[in-house]
Structure 1
């Protein structure tokens, strides 16, 4: 429905409508106000979705399709969005290694989507020579389907696939959120987890993905610039995501420059968030992995740093990685118990 009212008048209209509808009716509302507070209030009242009247028709169509789709949201792939509080904090490294841990820890399909079109490093980190990139896919959203999207994806191994960023500079940074949502809808249908490696940009499409993701992970470094930016990002995301979908904080490269690093206590006081975990700085394992065209978790899966990535993948998935020996033993035990 569409309404030009706001405040109490709008609520009264909805109450009148509710008297004429069953409890299973989905209500999508278009109104004049672009207000996050109103949006939250309407969702609390049972409105399925709310749009301001300047919303594009494409975005409305996508939302309607999602609302009335036969696909159970619980069966769709979980989306994890990674972003750095500033350049050089290692968000892409954290995203790629976490994607690998999700894929091999649970032996399920994971797709890493590198959306840093200008400077994405996923192809370098994984030593991939992709013929087509995520930029090519986003250039033709109307043509995308299940079979075509798989042609754009570069398989790394049995479980992990990557939509790589272009190798050269790409001018297009103001991407269309509707095109990205179309892409992700197809990727989610063929994956168990989708990991988004987002660029260090504060564009509307980046903000929207951070708000929509099932898990949003901000990687930071404990210095003045990192903490200032982290606080600003969390202030934005805390309001938009709410308490039911908290944003995760990761401190990376701890110990890289001890003289300028802020203490854990100072960081928590400034940001008002407790980090999910802190990853120590180790240039040796990072350099070895980069030179070999492999991930840190592959270079040494017993290293204290790589263990952090396994812990992170468990935290954001809500599941526990079981070792292969233990997994095989449990399967055998279940057979013998029959």
Structure 2
């Protein structure tokens, strides 16, 4: 499962040529409904072993989340699917921080530009402090 956490500007649905009627926004805005069955209904099948939890990619609502906004969704998905890939937007918020701290493994994708390399270094340094017993993030320079 690929979950696009960039609700305002996410592009995973475009990358996988999907236009789902519902997705991650329904789960985040109704955390009390999240269970394996509800999550399965929100997923869009892209291939035999690939499903997408798409972002709405709209500015029609504000996406100010509390720090644990994605916790129930991530916990449920980790229990019910073999592999969960979270596409986290380039933001530093309480929910992004908490989501990264709880991740099993982190892969950072960056472009080889000075500002991006600086931001990547800052993120790697912070994650080392927040996750002292975990391996460092993997880096992909794209």
TM-score (normalised: structure 1): 0.40
2:29 aligned with 1:130: no
Q: Quick one: which of 115, 118, 136 aligns to 1:225?
A: 115
SS of equivalent residue, structure 1 residue 149: helix
Q: 1:185 to 1:239 in 2, by over 3 A?
A: same
Give matches, 1:89-168, under 5 Å.
Answer: 111-168=1-58
Count of matched residue positions in the alignment of Structure 1 and Structure 2: 142
Q: 1:211 to 1:170 in 2, by over 3 A?
A: farther
Give matches, 1:47-126, under 5 Å.
Answer: 111-126=1-16
SS of equivalent residue, structure 2 residue 69: helix
Aligned to 2:126: 236
Distance (whole Å) between structure 1 residues aligned to residue 113 and residue 97 of structure 2:
23
Worse overlay, 166-175 or 215-224: 166-175
Higher RCO, 1 or 2 (CA under 8 Å, sep at least 6)?
2
SS of equivalent residue, structure 1 residue 156: strand
2:72 aligned with 1:178: no
Aligned-residue Cα RMSD (Å) equals 1.5
Aligned to 1:206: 96
CA contact (8 A) 2:69 2:95 kept: no
SS of equivalent residue, structure 1 residue 230: helix
Point out where structure 2 has 5 or more consecutive residues left out of the alignment: none
TM-score (normalised: structure 2): 0.91
Distance (whole Å) between structure 2 residues aligned to residue 169 and residue 114 of structure 1:
15
SS of equivalent residue, structure 1 residue 155: strand
- Which digits, 9 at most, give the CA deviation of each residue in 1:199-244, with x for residues without a partner? 1111111111112211111112222111211121112111111253
Distance (whole Å) between structure 2 residues aligned to residue 130 and residue 121 of structure 1:
12
Q: 1:188 to 1:243 in 2, by over 3 A?
A: closer
4+ residue runs of structure 1 moved beyond 4 angstroms?
none
SS of equivalent residue, structure 1 residue 227: helix
Distance (whole Å) between structure 2 residues aligned to residue 221 and residue 243 of structure 1:
27
SS of equivalent residue, structure 2 residue 86: strand
Q: Which has the larger radius of gyration?
A: 1
CA contact (8 A) 1:113 1:195 kept: yes
